[in-house]
Amino acid sequence: MADNDLTVGWIGAGRMGAAMAIRLARAGVAPAVWNRTRSKAEATVEHGCSVASRVADLRDRDVVFTMVSTSSDLHAVLLGDDGLLADPSRLPGMVVDCSTVSTEASEHVRAECLARGVAFLAAPVSGNGKVVKAGKLSIAVSGPFDAYQRVEHLLGYIGRSVTYVGEGDVARLVKICHNLMLGVVTQCMAEVTVLAEQGGVSRAAFLAFLNDSVMGSVFTRYKSPAFVNLDYTATFTPLLLRKDFDLGLAAGHELNVPMPLAALTAQLVQQTVSSGRVTEDFAILLDQQAAAAGVTLKPEDVQVDDGLSA
């Protein structure tokens, strides 16, 4: 059952991690936040969080959430020389990892946690920092069901939707499948938007129609401002999307599932990376599609509702 008096630590205060930790603080749970760049952790203090000077300072917490970029980052913060699990005499009760990492990395960390008597949940998320702030994050969780029940209320403070998907690390596969669809849908959205524009329809008009049709979605709506006004402020970069396609295609190979659409989209994502525009949002797939069609895009300077107003 849920424990309403759990002490909470948080590792990783990037765009996503900071927003998620702040949601916990605003719900009355004040996490101690550690980040490699201390200033990012300090930025959460005004919202009710505290700052941990070292990862080791979080070892006495009941639950520690992790939100980092890569499998190697997760290994470092948990199993490195100064990592959370480095001192067997002083360990947290549970680790809940919200990062997008490989199943193999997750299995390794789970085994290391189990060997130390620390519960481990894989809890990757769907959304970006703005989605978190709007309270519309989705979370897939796998691991021991009793551990999930204990922290389900905390996950509910962070996200709108929390789905327990099974034992072990199957949540990793759920998230990878999700991000494969994310890339494929964005490429499809880019193609049809460029087609409509080449035929004389403004992007704003076409996407307004699409978003209000049965084909529209929360995602197409909140990506529309970027497409209409060519605002590629990063929410998720081509490099991170390429990583997820690599993981997804590897999973398809391992499980003997053909992935023709994902494989083609992976090449188009690689093309955006090869262009050097790796710090922008992956919505630059639109620019790439337009260039392939000989279309020159210009910002339409139209106010577009992204559907994420709080």
The whole-model pTM stands at 0.89
Sign of the torsion angle spanned by Cα atoms 77, 59, 96, 53: negative
pLDDT of res. 101: 86
pLDDT of res. 5: 87
Q: Which two tokens stand for residue 236?
A: 């998720």
Cβ distance 262 to 252 under 8 Å?
A: yes
**Residue from 132, 131, 295 nearest 227 by CA:** 295
pLDDT of res. 139: 98
Phi, psi of 64 (to 5 degrees): -125, 125
pLDDT of res. 69: 86
- Name the segment(s) of the chain with CATH classification 1.10.1040.10: 173-292
Low-confidence stretches of the chain (pLDDT < 50) are 1
- Name the segment(s) of the chain with CATH classification 3.40.50.720: 8-168
**Strands 50-51 and 8-11, how do they pair?**
unpaired
Q: How many CB atoms lie within 10 A of CB 145?
A: 13
CATH number assigned to the domain covering 173-292 = 1.10.1040.10
pLDDT digits (tens, 9 = 90+) for 244-270: 999 999 999 999 999 999 999 999 999
Fold (CATH) for 8-168: Rossmann fold (3.40.50)
pLDDT digits (tens, 9 = 90+) for 197-206: 999 999 999 9
DSSP string spanning 186-216? HHHHHHHHHHHHHTT--HHHHHHHHHTSTT-
Indicate the helix (H) or strand (E) that contains 141: strand 138-142
Indicate the helix (H) or strand (E) that contains 9: strand 8-11
Phi, psi of 14 (to 5 degrees): -75, -160
Residue/partner pairs of 190-195 with CB below 8 Å, 24 or more apart: 190/227, 190/285, 190/286, 190/288, 190/289, 190/290, 191/289, 193/227, 193/286, 193/289, 194/286, 194/289, 194/290, 194/293, 194/295, 195/293
